[in-house]
Structure formats: C-alpha cells, structure tokens
Amino acid sequence: MEPFAGIGDNAPEHERIIGWQAPPLKFGVGATRELGYELAAAKVRSVLLVTDPGLAALGLPARVAKQLEQEGLSVSLFDRALVEPTDESCTLAARELESLEVDGYVGLGGGSSIDTAKMLNLLLSYPGHPVRDYLNPPIGAGRPIPGPLKPLVAVPTTAGSGSECTAMVALGVTGLNVKTGISDLRLRPTLALVDPVNTLTLPPAVTAASGYDVLTHACESYTARPYDRRPPYPSPADRPLYVGANPISDIWAEEALRLVGRYLRRAVLNSADLEARTGMSRAATFAGMGFGNAGTHIPHACAYPIAGLVRDYRPDGYAVDHAMVPHGAAVVSTAAAAFRFTYPTAPERHLRAAELLGANLNGITAANGADVLPATLRSLVADTGGPGGIAGFGYTQRDLPALVDGALKQQRLLVCCPRDVGARDLQRILAESLAD
C-alpha cells in the first residue's frame, strides 16, 4: 500500500494549504554595523553593493563599503540603480558588469535599488537570458529562474516597498509603457537587514510616498481573496507566491496597519523622529511579510500603468531627470475607490483596517460603513501632502482606456481581488480616482 494512501484523496472544492515564507530578519537601530558579520557568515568574501545616485551623494554607500573593506571583504560599487527600474536599465547594468565575479550582493536603498540588486544577481548568474523570459505573463514568458542565486542581503533605506522581504521585483517594461514583475522564490533575499537610522535622511515627500506603499500593501493583502476561496491547485508547483489572505499574513498586515496609523504622519512631519522612523520601518517590513505571501490587487494593478504611461509629471523630493510617478503615490491614488468597490466582499475586514488606522467606528455598521476606509485613507494622504487623484499626475478622461488596458494586463494581481473585476469596473475605479 502506498504511504498515506487514502489521506486527503477526496478532491477539495477549495484550496486548503497556505504557502508562506520570508527571509531571516535583523532589525534595529545600528544594525548596519553588523552587515560585514552577516556576509562573512554567509561565506561571502567579495560583494557587489548596489545603490542609487541620490543615496550615493549622501555618502552612506561609501561608508558601508569602507566598513566592509575594513572587515576584509572586497567591495565593488554600482551606484546607478534607476529609481523605478526597467527591464532595459537592468539589462544595461548587467552588460556593464558582465566580467565581474563576486560571491554575493548587497541591495542598499529603496525598493528600486533592492530590486536592481535582485535582477543583477539573476542576470549575472545566468547570462544570455533576456529579462522578458522571466516577466509575469501576459507581458513576459513567466519562465522560472533556472537555478540557485548567490547570497543577497537587502538593506532598505526607505520604509516602503518591503522588497527586503519578498521574492519578487517590479520593473517598467521598455516600449510598452507598463510595469510588471517577476515572482520566484529564488529572488528572496538571504537576509533582510533593517536599520531605521538609514531612513532619517528621507525628504518628507519620499517618506510619504514610501509610507503609502506600506499602507496599500497592508490593506490589499488584508482584503485579498482568501486562500481557501480559490480552486485547488493541480500540484504544489502550481501554487503561486500570492496565495490570498490567510491567518498568517493577516497578523503582519494588521500590525502594519496599526503602525502606519500611529507613525506615518509623525515620520512625514518630523523627519528626525526616530521613534516614528522605527515604527514605519517595522510597518514596511511587516507589510512585506504579509503581501509577499497574500498578494495585492486593484491599487497595485492600476499603479503599474499609472507609472508606465506618465508624460510630464516630476515628483517633489526625487532627484530624477525624467517623468515619474513614485510607486507609493501611484498605488494610493486609486485606493479609496478600489476599497469602496471591494467593501461588500468583507465589510468587517474593511472596517477593521480603518479602525487599525485610527478610525472611530462608533455607530458604524456593515450597512453604513462602505466609505469609512476610503475616508480614512483620504484623510491620511491629505495630512501628509499626498495625491488627491490621478489628475495630479496629468491624466484626464481621455487616458482612461489606456490605463484600464494596462491594469488588465496585471492578472497576477487581479486574481487576488476578492471580487471579480473587469474592464468596466476598472474604468469606474479610475474615473472616480481622477479628482485632484
């Protein structure tokens, strides 16, 4: 008789298994000083330190490189990671570095630098494979990474993307004016090393935009289609990284929402408030642990074309010479309308999210609470100088069809929506999000 024969043989109508994973974490003020120790423990003797020009100008990458060299490591520095990286920027960087041989990688910066480090680890480990081989379908082929990657330590300097905890990257796709991602467990960092001190130099606008990313990560993963309301997967290999809302991810999402409600305003309005910076760093990491497994849905699906189709918008606080919508600003700009749309699927979750963010639920019931979370989000964004709508990025009614088309390409995200969403729904959500 086969082992376990008869156990679980009855085919379930819905998925019953939760997949959840995160990297080891080292968190705390001064944790950056232990980077060399952690690299040595991972048997890394030579490292590529990946960062962006803005951070390089502040001197932190040079100080980190000097510290690592004093501890006996050989350090190569790549300080031209693009804010909001693209398939092309990563390909060009890999081409420039193709003769470099290192034992491991450090991604130092925001999600853009960490994602660029993940991509360089991939492209230099397996040369000859174009980025689009790995991009999520229908934009790319969605091929799995062919083998193991080298150790990568992620050291965030923003409290936003949570990329230090996730097994994915987000990239603009050159020529298509859209963003998408790569999802593969091999992309997950070997270690997330989070030092809140590294966020103290962030300008208020960047602090706010980063915080909006945390906010929507937590709200979207908390309200995602539950894992046990999905059809069963044919095999374990078919189970995606984004499995839907589940009891494990809920814990991280709830704590992230509580921290955002308590600390985001303080971090934006007083950049030297280390307690608030520490709270937001925790929120970003916790939200990454949540959404990196549960998934995101409408706000992130809409954010990719909002970022990809931008024409002239230049954000405050970012040292860029090209049109760009910061990712956090893009995701939060449609969040109020999106959560009004998803409210009927789980009123109690939407109201709990609002309460964790600080809303007063006295007198609120499921019947009259549809606007509580949207109003809470709008208040938080207004208090921190964020976008009132996508019109502020230069979009008009004429742009809606292209934005809808770009959002529909994000099926990896839209399947996480707790309510089936089509073109008409997205059109309405984006139209409601125009006001500025």
pLDDT tens for each residue of 257-278: 999 999 999 999 999 999 999 9
Q: Hey, which residues does 178 pair with through a beta bridge? A: 173
In this prediction, residue 415 carries a pLDDT of 96
- Structure confidence by residue, pLDDT tens digits, 51-95: 999 999 999 999 999 999 999 999 999 999 998 899 999 999 999
Give the residue among 114, 329, 315 at the shortest CA–CA distance from 211: 329
% of the chain exceeding 70 in pLDDT: 97
User: CA 410 to CA 137: how far, in whole Å?
Assistant: 8
Give the residue among 336, 321, 332, 380 at the shortest CA–CA distance from 356: 380
Instruction: Reply yes or no on whether the pLDDT at 123 is more than 80.
Output: yes
- For every residue of 349-406, DSSP letters joined together read HHHHHHHHTT---TT--TTT-TTHHHHHHHHHHHHTT--S-GGGGT--GGGHHHHHHH
- For every residue of 115-142, DSSP letters joined together read HHHHHHHHHHHSTT--GGGTSPTTTS--
Instruction: Reply yes or no on whether the pLDDT at 109 is more than 60.
Output: yes
* pLDDT, average across residues 134-159: 95
CATH 1.10.150.130 fits 31-194, yes or no: no
371-to-181, 281, 328, 379 alpha-carbon distances in Å: 31, 28, 21, 12
DSSP summary character for residue 277: H
Q: Which residues, 6+ apart, have CB-to-CB distance to 326 below 8 Å?
A: 84, 206, 209, 315, 318
pLDDT band of residue 36 (cuts 50, 70, 90) is very high
CB neighbourhood size of 228 (10 A): 18
Helix and strand numbers (H, E) in the chain are: 16, 8
- The owner of tokens 């980077």 is 35
Report the mean per-residue pLDDT for the chain. Answer: 94
Contact 198, 32 (CB under 8 A): yes
Q: Which residues, 6+ apart, have CB-to-CB distance to 242 below 8 Å?
A: 183, 224, 293, 294, 295, 296, 412, 413, 415, 416
Q: Which residues, 6+ apart, have CB-to-CB distance to 332 below 8 Å?
A: 212, 213, 215, 216, 299, 377, 381, 386, 387
Question: pTM of this prediction?
Answer: 0.94
User: CA 332 to CA 210: how far, in whole Å?
Assistant: 10
- Structure confidence by residue, pLDDT tens digits, 286-340: 999 999 999 999 999 999 999 999 999 999 888 788 899 999 999 999 999 999 9
* pLDDT, average across residues 36-45: 96
In this prediction, residue 436 carries a pLDDT of 59
- Structure confidence by residue, pLDDT tens digits, 158-168: 999 999 999 99
Instruction: Reply yes or no on whether the pLDDT at 349 is more than 70.
Output: yes
User: CA 365 to CA 64: how far, in whole Å?
Assistant: 52
* pLDDT, average across residues 195-211: 96
In this prediction, residue 5 carries a pLDDT of 45
Residue type, 161: S
- Structure confidence by residue, pLDDT tens digits, 65-74: 999 999 999 9
User: CA 98 to CA 287: how far, in whole Å?
Assistant: 34
Beta 178-183 vs 104-109: how paired, if at all? Answer: unpaired
In this prediction, residue 320 carries a pLDDT of 81
In this prediction, residue 319 carries a pLDDT of 79
CATH 3.40.50.970 fits 204-432, yes or no: no
% of the chain exceeding 90 in pLDDT: 90
User: CA 209 to CA 384: how far, in whole Å?
Assistant: 9
Q: Which residues, 6+ apart, have CB-to-CB distance to 359 below 8 Å?
A: 351, 372, 373, 375, 376
Instruction: Give yes or no on whether 31-194 and 204-432 have one common fold.
Output: no
- Structure confidence by residue, pLDDT tens digits, 6-29: 445 555 689 999 989 999 999 999
In this prediction, residue 179 carries a pLDDT of 86
The residue ranges of every structural domain in the chain are 31-194, 204-432
